[in-house]
Amino acid sequence: MESKAINDLSDKDIICTAAVAWGPGQPLTIQQIRVQPPQKMEVRIKILFTSVCHTDLSSWQGLNVSQRVYPRIFGHEASGVVESVGEGVEDMKEGDHVLTIFNGECGECVYCKSKITNLCERFRVDPLQSVMRNDGKTRFLTQDGKPIYHFLNTSTFTEYTVVDSACVVKIDPKAPLDKMTLLSCCLSTGFGAVTNTANIHQGSTVAVFGLGAVGLAVIQGAKTRGASKIIGVDINVDKSIKGESMGMTDFINPRDFKTSVHEKIREMSEGGVDFSFECAGNLDVLREAFLSTHDGWGLTVVLGIHPTPRMLPLHPMELFDGRRITGSVFGGFKAKTQLPLFAHHCMHHQEGLKLEEFITHELPFSSIDQAFQLLINGKSLRCLLHL
Type of residue numbered 73 = I
Dihedral sign (CA 365, 368, 371, 372): positive
- Are the beta carbons of 273 and 298 closer than 8 angstroms? yes
Which of 42, 50, 53, 225 is catalytic? The answer is: 53
Which of 50, 158, 167, 185 is catalytic? The answer is: 185
- Is residue 266 part of the annotated active site? The answer reads no
Distance between CA 88 and CA 323 in Å, rounded?
Answer: 47
- Is residue 109 part of the annotated active site? The answer reads yes
Which of 54, 72, 150, 266 is catalytic? The answer is: 54
Which of 44, 112, 181, 205 is catalytic? The answer is: 112
- Residue 362's contacts (CB-CB under 8 Å, 6 or more residues apart) are 383, 384, 385, 386
Which of 97, 124, 287, 294 is catalytic? The answer is: 124
- Is residue 300 part of the annotated active site? The answer reads no
- Is residue 94 part of the annotated active site? The answer reads no
- Is residue 77 part of the annotated active site? The answer reads yes
- Is residue 308 part of the annotated active site? The answer reads no
- Is residue 124 part of the annotated active site? The answer reads yes
Which of 44, 76, 225, 287 is catalytic? The answer is: 76
Which of 109, 117, 133, 344 is catalytic? The answer is: 109
Which of 44, 72, 120, 158 is catalytic? The answer is: 120
- What is the per-residue DSSP string for 272-286? -BSEEEE-S--HHHH
Which of 77, 105, 278, 288 is catalytic? The answer is: 77
- Is residue 55 part of the annotated active site? The answer reads yes
Which of 97, 150, 225, 382 is catalytic? The answer is: 382
Nearest to 106 by CA among 162, 145, 147, 164: 164
Distance between CA 261 and CA 283 in Å, rounded?
Answer: 14
Which of 50, 55, 181, 293 is catalytic? The answer is: 55
Distance between CA 224 and CA 300 in Å, rounded?
Answer: 19
Which of 50, 83, 105, 106 is catalytic? The answer is: 106
Q: Which residues are catalytic?
A: 53-55, 76-77, 106, 109, 112, 120, 124, 185, 382
